[in-house]
Structure 1
Amino acid sequence: MDKPGEPRLTSLSHGGGCGCKIAPGVLSQILQASASRLPVPPQLLVGIETADDAAVYQLNDEQALVATTDFFMPIVDDPYDFGRIAATNAISDVYAMGGRPILALAIVGMPVNALSTATIGRILQGGESVCTAAGIPVAGGHTIDCVEPIYGLVALGLVHPRQVRRNAGARAGDVLVLGKALGVGVLSAALKKQALDAAGYQRMIATTTRLNTPGPELAALDGVHAITDVTGFGLAGHALEVARGAGLTVALDWNSVPLLPGVAQLAADGFVTGASGRNWAGYGADVALPEGFSDTQRALLTDPQTSGGLLVSCSPQALPQVLAVFRNHGFADAAAVGEVLEGPARLLVR
C-alpha cells in the first residue's frame, strides 16, 4: 500500500545512478594491494587487475562464466524507471565482456519506513522487465532495510573463452567507437533540480534502458580487440582505462563524440554532477586537453554515464562491420570517436 506523503526517490539519496561511484583516485587507493593478496587460479581469465567490467572464469574449453554486480541509488523518481535503469546498467557489464547473460540475482536495500511496499514492488518490476527483455530470469537475491534506496543486480553470463573482450586489448592503430551519446549525468542533474522537460526525460530513459546487446556479436569479430562500457567515470575515465590496460595513448576527437540533444546547453547552464569534478580530480593528471577546451566541455568529457554505451577498440578494417552491428541493434548514435596510438598510457583529447 502507498504511504501518505511519500517522498521523491531522488530526495532519499545523496547521489544517483553511476554518479554514486567512489571517486577513481580513492578507489585506486582502496584496491591497490588487493591484486597481490588474493589467490589467482589459472581458470580466472579476468580479475581486478585492469579494472575491467566483470570477472571471467573458464569452466571448460567452450565456456567461461562472466560474473558482475552493480547497484546504486535512484537517478529518477519513477520507481519503475529506476528499476529498469539499474537492471540495464548491471547487465551491460556481461555484454561488455562479450558474454550473453543467463540469469540475475536482485540486490535490494530500501528504507521501508519511508517507502510503500507498492513503490518498492514497482522498482523490482522495472528490473524484472529488463531481465525479461534480456531473456533471463531473476533467480533470487537479497533484501535489507536500508537508510537510502538501493537496487541492482548480480548478473551472470557465458562466453567462449576465445571471445572474451577485455578493456586491455587495444592495439596501436585501432579505431575507437562509442555506442551511445553522452550526457546522462547532465540530464540527471537537471532532473534533480526539476529543470528537465518531458522530452529530455524521455531521452534520458530511452538511452539508459537500452541494453548493450551488440556486445556478443562485436566480440565475435576478429578485428575487435577491446570492449568496455562507459559508466560512472565518464568517457575520459573509461578511455583512460583502455589506455592504461594496453600501455598506449588513446586519442579522442572531441568534435566526433555524440552528445544527447540539449545536453551541451544544460551543461553550460551549470547542470553538472559533483561526480564529474571528482572524476577529473582522480585522473585529470593523465589527460591532455587542447588549448581552449572549456570547463563545460571538460564536464561533458568526465560526465558520469549511468547505463552508458560500449566503447570498442577495433582495427580500421573492422570499422564498417562494427558500425553495422551497432546499427542493426538500433544504436543510431554509434560513431568513431578516436584512435589508439603508440605512446605512454594517457588520454589525448583533440
Structure 2
Amino acid sequence: MVKADTSTIRLTEYSHGAGCGCKISPKVLDVILQSKLSIAPDKNLLVGNQSKDDAAVYDLGNGQAVISTTDFFMPIVDDPFTFGRIAATNAISDIYAMGGTPIMAIAILGWPINQLSAEVAQQVVDGGRQACADAGIPLAGGHSIDSPEPIFGLAVTGTVAIKHLKQNNKASAGCNLYLTKPLGVGILSTAQKKQLLQPEHDGLAADIMCQLNTVGNKLATLSQVTALTDVTGFGLLGHLIEVCEGSNVNAEITLDDIPVIPEAKQYQALGAIPGGTHRNFESYGHKAAALNQSAIEILCDPQTSGGLLVAVIPDGEAEFLSLMKEQGFTLTPIGKLLERAPKQHSQQPSQPYVTVI
C-alpha cells in the first residue's frame, strides 16, 4: 500500500469528475430507471422515484414518516478532510429539503488503496464525521470497497411529521421563488481542477458547500412554503424544471436577481465550465425558453451541497422572510411561478417551463 504525505495530496487529480458534477445526466438516468417489472406499489411509500424528489419517504402509520436518502461522489476539493465534510453535508441536505430531521448516517467509501493511503481515507471519513456532528447525528457505520477512483458519501436516515413533509411537486402558481445559497460552485471547482484558481479564492466554494441546510427543518412548519428542494447536480435550471413539471406550473426568473458567487464570473470568462453544465443543458434546455450561453453556464452549473429552492405564497411571505432573517439569511425573490395553460390539441408546441428575463 502506498504511503503518502497527506498535506501534499491533490485529491481532484485522482478523479475524472468532481462532486455532483459526476452525476449521470438526467436524460440517461431516465432510461436507467425505467422498469418492465410488474411490482405492486407499497401504499406506505409516500415519496419514491415517481416525483424525482430529494429522498424517499415511508409512512410509519403514526403520523410520522422515515426519510431515507443516499449521496456520494468523487473529490471536488483537494483537501481530504474538507472533501469528506462537503460530501456528508451534501448528503444530509436531502433530509432537510424534505422538511425532515436527520437522525443517523452510514458512510459509503470507495478508495484506490494502491494509489492513496489509508491515512488519507481516514481524513475523508473524519470530515464526514465532523459534518454529522455539526448536524447532531452519529456516523453509525458504513461500507467500503477498493475502487479505481476515490468516492465518499453517506446514506442518511431522518424523520418528519407527515403534516410537515415538504416535496418538490406541490408548488402552486403565484408563489415567489427564493434561493438560499449563491450559484457558481461548479465553476470554481472546475477552475481549481484546471489549476486556474487564484490563491485568494481558495476555500471560497468549500465554505459555501460546508454550510448545512438546517433551515429546511424550520421551513417545514410554514404552510406558506408550498415546495422545497435543494439545488445540486442538475443546476438551478434542472431542479426548477423538476418543480415545475411535478407541480404543473411555469416559472419566470430574473437572471440579475439570482445570487452568484462574484468570483465565479471571472473563471466563467476563462472557460472553467464543468462538463456537467453541458449535460444538464442537453437534458433540460429544451424545456426552457431560449437562453444565451452565459445564462446557460450559470443556470446549468452543477452545484454540490447547494442551497434550498423555496416556493412561497405571497400572503405568507413576511413570516417566511422573518424566519429566514432569524436564521441569518437576507433573501430577495429570484422569480415567480405562473399558471400553465393546458394544451388545446396534441400538435400544439409545448410551452417552456422556465423563462429567464
Q: Report the CA distance between 1:61 and its aligned residue.
A: 2.5
CA distance, structure 2, for counterparts of residue 331 and residue 121 of structure 1: 34
Which amino acid in structure 1 is aligned with residue 320 of structure 2?
Answer: V
Asked if structure 2 preserves the Cα contact closer than 8 Å seen for 1:268 and 1:296, the reply is no
Counterpart position of 1:8: 10
Provide, for residues 185-234 of structure 1, a one-character-per-residue CA deviation record: whole Å limited to 9, x for no partner.
00001000111123422221111000001101111101011100000000
Give the share of equivalent positions with the same residue, in percent: 46
SS of the residue aligned with 1:298?
A: helix
Asked if structure 2 preserves the Cα contact closer than 8 Å seen for 1:237 and 1:283, the reply is yes
Which amino acid in structure 2 is aligned with residue 33 of structure 1?
Answer: S
CA distance, structure 2, for counterparts of residue 269 and residue 327 of structure 1: 35
Provide, for residues 304-327 of structure 1, a one-character-per-residue CA deviation record: whole Å limited to 9, x for no partner.
000000001110122233233333
CA distance, structure 2, for counterparts of residue 41 and residue 92 of structure 1: 25
CA distance, structure 2, for counterparts of residue 165 and residue 198 of structure 1: 40
SS of the residue aligned with 2:50?
A: coil
Counterpart position of 1:58: 59
Asked if structure 2 preserves the Cα contact closer than 8 Å seen for 1:61 and 1:161, the reply is no
Q: 1:4 to 1:213 in 2, by over 3 A?
A: closer
Q: How does 1:71-150 map to 2 (within 5 A)?
A: 71-150=72-151
Q: Report the CA distance between 1:256 and its aligned residue.
A: 0.6
SS of the residue aligned with 1:335?
A: coil
Counterpart position of 1:20: 22
Q: Report the CA distance between 1:24 and its aligned residue.
A: 1.1
CA distance, structure 1, for counterparts of residue 38 and residue 333 of structure 2: 39
CA distance, structure 1, for counterparts of residue 14 and residue 168 of structure 2: 34
Provide, for residues 317-345 of structure 1, a one-character-per-residue CA deviation record: whole Å limited to 9, x for no partner.
2223323333322344x431111101157
CA distance, structure 2, for counterparts of residue 267 and residue 314 of structure 1: 31
With 165-174 and 196-205 compared, the bigger mean Cα shift is at: 196-205
With 199-208 and 78-87 compared, the bigger mean Cα shift is at: 199-208
Q: How does 1:330-341 map to 2 (within 5 A)?
A: 330-332=328-330, 334-341=331-338
Counterpart position of 2:355: 348
CA distance, structure 1, for counterparts of residue 321 and residue 40 of structure 2: 39
Asked if structure 1 preserves the Cα contact closer than 8 Å seen for 2:9 and 2:79, the reply is no
Which amino acid in structure 1 is aligned with residue 157 of structure 2?
Answer: L
CA distance, structure 1, for counterparts of residue 332 and residue 79 of structure 2: 31
Q: Report the CA distance between 1:60 and its aligned residue.
A: 2.5
2:293 maps to 1:295: yes
Q: 1:326 to 1:199 in 2, by over 3 A?
A: farther
SS of the residue aligned with 2:102?
A: strand
Gaps of 5+ in 1: none
SS of the residue aligned with 1:348?
A: strand
With 49-58 and 334-343 compared, the bigger mean Cα shift is at: 334-343
Q: Report the CA distance between 1:31 and its aligned residue.
A: 1.5
SS of the residue aligned with 1:182?
A: coil
Q: How does 1:135-214 map to 2 (within 5 A)?
A: 135-214=136-215
SS of the residue aligned with 1:288?
A: coil
Q: Report the CA distance between 1:237 and its aligned residue.
A: 0.2
TM, length-normalised to structure 2: 0.93
CA distance, structure 2, for counterparts of residue 255 and residue 264 of structure 1: 13
TM, length-normalised to structure 1: 0.95
CA distance, structure 1, for counterparts of residue 68 and residue 251 of structure 2: 27
With 129-138 and 6-15 compared, the bigger mean Cα shift is at: 6-15
CA distance, structure 1, for counterparts of residue 38 and residue 69 of structure 2: 20
CA distance, structure 1, for counterparts of residue 293 and residue 324 of structure 2: 31
Counterpart position of 1:45: 46
CA distance, structure 2, for counterparts of residue 304 and residue 331 of structure 1: 22
Counterpart position of 1:308: 306
Q: Report the CA distance between 1:296 and its aligned residue.
A: 2.0
Q: How does 1:180-259 map to 2 (within 5 A)?
A: 180-259=181-260
Asked if structure 1 preserves the Cα contact closer than 8 Å seen for 2:9 and 2:78, the reply is no
Which amino acid in structure 2 is aligned with residue 9 of structure 1?
Answer: L
CA distance, structure 1, for counterparts of residue 259 and residue 131 of structure 2: 25
SS of the residue aligned with 2:298?
A: helix
Provide, for residues 101-135 of structure 1, a one-character-per-residue CA deviation record: whole Å limited to 9, x for no partner.
00000000100111111111000000100100100
Which amino acid in structure 1 is aligned with residue 353 of structure 2?
Answer: R
CA distance, structure 2, for counterparts of residue 236 and residue 92 of structure 1: 19
Q: Report the CA distance between 1:7 and its aligned residue.
A: 5.2
SS of the residue aligned with 1:259?
A: coil
Provide, for residues 10-42 of structure 1, a one-character-per-residue CA deviation record: whole Å limited to 9, x for no partner.
1111101000000111111222337x7443211
Q: 1:294 to 1:103 in 2, by over 3 A?
A: same
Q: What is the aligned residue count?
A: 345
Asked if structure 2 preserves the Cα contact closer than 8 Å seen for 1:243 and 1:345, the reply is no
Asked if structure 2 preserves the Cα contact closer than 8 Å seen for 1:179 and 1:326, the reply is no
